[in-house]
Structure 1
Amino acid sequence: MSSGARRVLVTGATGFVGTHAIPALRARGFEVHALGRARPEASTVAFHPVDLLDAGAVRAAVQAVRASHLLHLAWYAEPGLYWRAAANLDWVAASLALVRAFREAGGGRAVVAGTCAEYAWGPERLSEDAPCVPATLYGAAKDGTRRILAAYAGETGLSLAWGRLFFLYGPGERPGRLVGDAIRALASGARFATSPGYQRRDFSHVADAAGAFAALVESDVAGPVNVGSGAAVPVRAILERIGALTGRPDLIDFGARPLPASEPAGIEAAVTRLRDAVGFRPRYDLDAGLRQTFAALGPKP
């Protein structure tokens, strides 16, 4: 693959991460082509309407674009439902068909979005070589897809990286996510019921996650790469910061919801590969990211 080949095909371009990935890819000099059912708002993107679950239509579109790079972000992601949904099986098949079509059309570098739910949660700090023993259908579907694609890449010479996403927040959050729900509730004067909040989670601003994927696309790093901040913090501390930003810490009901016994005490990404091999550094720390998110989601003057 020549260094001048700079056409990237993006799925999930209108999603939470994809919306932010487009400008990050453009900033790195890529010509961006989006594949999916909804047209991205960015006017700099070439849009190819297709149902990603239609393997024949996807193959035709991929052959027409003839991209050198692929960033596959699309998956079923309905909050609260995706963990156990049978639709995960559809997306395993769709992902395998997409990557195969991309490679057979001459594509050389593919980056696919995975999840920290592939890991066996338990060790608090998770490196890429930690055991993958997913506890949900979603995690198993992602893990199985990775294993098959890694074997396929080995057989065909495809350069393949797998970005394991940890927890996200930021502008564009759909209802059902912690940070956005808390900001909207407290800013409107509504009470926010939550667990005691002592569990530690690794949260990244979505623009940083998108920037990490763009850097991964441009790199030649292969295999799994954690996409996280590398610094887990108590959920309680995040909500306390949101309470301060909204001026309504009194509306947070800590302990109103029980924390399921299956929830681990901590989930944190080891980000050595992302930092040192890919060369990515995040733009936002937690305080700056929450302020920016509050400015985007909070009340408008």
Structure 2
Amino acid sequence: MKILVTGATGFLGHHVISTLVERGVEVVATGRSLSKMKQAPWADAVTLVQMDLDQLPDSLMDQLHHPSHCVHLAWPNLPDYKSETHLNHSLPQSKNFLCKLIDQGIQKILVAGTCFEYGMQEGELSEKFPPRPDNPYGRAKNQLRLELESYLKDKDTDLQWARLFYMYGKGQNPKSLFAQLQKAIQSGCDEFDMSGGQQIRDYLPVEEVAAAIADLICHPTHTGTINVCSGENVPLLDLVKRYLENHNADIKLNLGVFPYPDWEPFKFWGAPHLLEKVRKQR
């Protein structure tokens, strides 16, 4: 087994590669910046391939050293979930890349989906729920899944679709909540501005998300859509307080400074039962 990981220098890609390397898996890492990949702690343990997904070579598999599996994480223009660029650029870019891999003999593909495919539905969200994406990012991901499923009907490649919920940890986008909270802790701030904090969210440490993805891509038989989530329905304020306690930080939280986001439901979390079942089978 040789696994290609796209988006190697991204938040999740970095951790997925680390996990696969720790497990002794042969990895090909690809990204737009070779210099950034060379700075990663796993750089000497994997095969590095600089590649722009907008400029693919005809002999794609040759340039990628013929991987048998692919974990596709690359997706530009985040975290702007409302940008039409997801539909106009990121969707066709990923489809073209993945279809080339399929045509050239890749055995298995895992694509990072998103909980935003469920749209504004609330409560515990199961894989059995119909997708109802409400923002361009969610619509683009869902459309990619549909087009890949159609394309693969007469092909031999297996498809896994990992619907990712929220994650946090080292390397996350500096604009994300927990990255800003960590910056406030490190800067010795006395106060931290946030929303009211009563929205219900499903968060996992990025290391756990990476481990789940590694389990899935290495699973011998599982295919289809699966939630990658904790299954915990916890108010965001409680998660922030827990984070502060874990870091021994005493910071006053200024609640209600920022409005609740309008691109996501107020209370939602993932159903983890299928993920738990599959991980027990590996």
Q: Please say whether Structure 1 and Structure 2 have the same fold, judged by a TM-score greater than 0.5.
A: yes
CA shift in 2, pair 1:71/1:192, >3 Å: same
Aligned-partner Cα distance in 1 for 2:180–2:130:
32
Aligned-partner Cα distance in 2 for 1:237–1:175:
21
CA contact (8 A) 1:71 1:112 kept: yes
Mapping of 1:15-30 within 5 angstroms? Answer: 15-30=10-25
Identity over aligned residues, as a percent? 33
Deviation larger for 28-37 or 161-170: 28-37
Shift of 1:88: 4.2
Aligned residue for 2:26? 31
Mapping of 1:220-231 within 5 angstroms? Answer: 220-231=221-232
Shift of 1:31: 1.0
CA shift in 2, pair 1:177/1:262, >3 Å: closer
Aligned-partner Cα distance in 2 for 1:77–1:163:
19
Q: RMSD in angstroms over aligned alpha carbons? A: 1.9
Please list every run of 5 or more consecutive structure 2 residues that lacks an aligned counterpart in the other structure. Answer: none
Alignment-mate amino acid for residue 251 of structure 2: P
Q: Residue 97 of structure 1: SS of its match in structure 2?
A: helix
Q: Residue 45 of structure 2: SS of its match in structure 1?
A: coil
Shift of 1:141: 0.2
CA shift in 2, pair 1:280/1:232, >3 Å: farther
CA contact (8 A) 2:77 2:86 kept: no
Shift of 1:110: 0.6
CA contact (8 A) 1:197 1:254 kept: yes
Aligned residue for 2:250? 248
Aligned pairs, how many?
A: 272
Aligned residue for 1:209? 209
CA contact (8 A) 1:83 1:138 kept: yes
Aligned-partner Cα distance in 1 for 2:155–2:243:
48
Aligned residue for 1:109? 108
Mapping of 1:18-97 within 5 angstroms? Answer: 18-39=13-34, 40=37, 41=40, 42=42, 43-54=44-55, 56-57=56-57, 59-64=58-63, 65-79=65-79, 81-97=80-96
Q: Residue 110 of structure 2: SS of its match in structure 1?
A: strand
CA contact (8 A) 1:112 1:163 kept: yes
CA shift in 2, pair 1:30/1:243, >3 Å: closer
CA contact (8 A) 1:10 1:72 kept: yes
Q: Residue 111 of structure 2: SS of its match in structure 1?
A: strand
Q: Residue 125 of structure 1: SS of its match in structure 2?
A: strand
CA shift in 2, pair 1:75/1:258, >3 Å: same
